[in-house]
Chains A and B, each alone.
Chain A
Amino acid sequence: MPGEAKPDFSKWHGMDRNAIKWGPVIDETKCVGCGFCVVQCSERRNVFGYDEQKRKAVVLDPENCMVGCNNCQVACLWDAISFPDASGIRDLAKQLVESGKAKEELEERLKKNPGLKLELPP
């Protein structure tokens, strides 16, 4: 595809993104072409394209889809978007915790950005 360099979403917490089953599927028979999904998806990830002749949204970059996000599905009034069951990604999340990867990333994030720390009143 043409265009400038895009952000790299090829990894999800060290895992290959394209090995993770998570992304929208559009039922073309239900899509009315309102375009909500296109703009509900963040501009950085920009998973959707849009066919102005047919007035249909199309899934253009499914691997840009943030693992766990289904905002587009939630916003679609015509129920034209489906996602895989979330149990698969929750299992992956459990793996991240069990392997210590989540802890490692959290420590790194807090070190890099100490402003994320906030103490609660006792």
Chain B
Amino acid sequence: MSKTWHGVERASYVWYPKIDYSKCTGCGLCLLTCGNDVFRWSDQKGLPVVANPGSCVMGCTTCAKLCPEDAISFPDDPKHFLKQVIIKEKVFLTVKKELKDRLDKHPDHRVSAEDVEAWKKAEAGERSARRG
């Protein structure tokens, strides 16, 4: 089954990290942080490789933000990039359905803002109690 992003064919868009090997020191943090199996590792060179670009989540730049050498780049202006996709593909029709599904599956995430405030207060109370 082909990958989709809120109903959009993932393969229709070019979104993945590019490694500048003149900067990369092979620390491996990109591979360690990616939850989507985008990177592989070359033992010979001691460097990461972008092996599954199509698995990269559109809009995600976590590896680039963490890279201590600033060696990873993505398409310029991620927000603009996603905006074009969202509008062109009418993504909100899918998002509406996904929201309902998510809340049905995780009913404790169907909340009221007042609940959240109450939890925050209770938590803050617990923290200060722990500090003594």
Q: Mark A17-50, 1 if CB is under 8 A from B, else 0.
A: 0000000000010000011101110110010111
What is the interface of chain A mostly: helix, strand, loop, or mixed? mixed
Query: Is A39 a contact partner of B110 (Cβ separation < 8 A)?
Result: no
The residue in chain B whose Cβ has the minimal distance to the Cβ of A3 is B108
Given A90-B66, A106-B41, decide whether A60 and B109 contact each other with a Cβ distance below 8 A: yes
- Chain A CB within 8 A of B86 CB: yes
Q: Separation in Å of the A37 CB from the closest CB of chain B?
A: 10
Contact B102 A39 (CB under 8 A): yes
Instruction: Give chain A's interface residue range (CB within 8 Å of chain B).
Output: 35 or more
* CB of A22, distance to nearest CB on chain B (Å): 10
Smallest distance from the beta carbon of B6 to chain A beta carbons, Å? Answer: 7
**Is A15 among interface residues, defined by CB-CB distance under 8 A?**
no
Query: In the assembly, what is the distance between CA of A119 and CA of B51, in Å?
Result: 11
**B-side interface size class:** 35 or more
B68, A90: Cβ atoms under 8 Å?
yes
Q: Is the CB of A93 within 8 A of B67?
A: yes
Least Cβ–Cβ distance between A62 and chain B, in angstroms: 10
Q: Is the CB of A13 within 8 A of B32?
A: yes
Say yes or no: B83 contacts A77, CB within 8 Å.
yes
A93 CB to nearest B CB, Å: 4
Interface pair A117/B113, CB less than 8 Å apart: no
Report yes or no: A53 in contact with B112, Cβ–Cβ below 8 A.
Answer: yes
Give chain A nearest CB distance to B124 CB in angstroms. Answer: 13
A40 to B59, CA, bound (A): 10
Of A40, A43, A46, A102, the contact of B29 (CB 8 Å cutoff)? A102
Do residues A103 and B109 form an inter-chain contact, with CB atoms below 8 A? no
A58 contacts which chain B residues (CB < 8 A)?
111, 113, 116
Assess the A34–B95 pair: CB atoms within 8 A. yes
B contact residues around A68 at 8 Å (CB): 33, 62-63, 65-66
Instruction: Kindly state whether residue A10 has any CB partner on chain B within 8 Å.
Output: no
Inter-chain CA distance A1–B27, complex, in Å, is: 38
How far is A28 from B113 in the complex, measured between Cα atoms in Å? 10
Instruction: Enumerate A81-122 residues with CB–CB distance to B below 8 Å.
Output: 86, 89-90, 93-94, 96-97, 102-103, 105-106, 109-110, 116-120
Chain B contacts of A60 at CB under 8 A? 109, 111, 116
Q: Which 9 A-B pairs have the closest CB atoms?
A: A106-B28, A35-B99, A118-B40, A68-B62, A49-B111, A74-B59, A39-B98, A93-B66, A49-B109
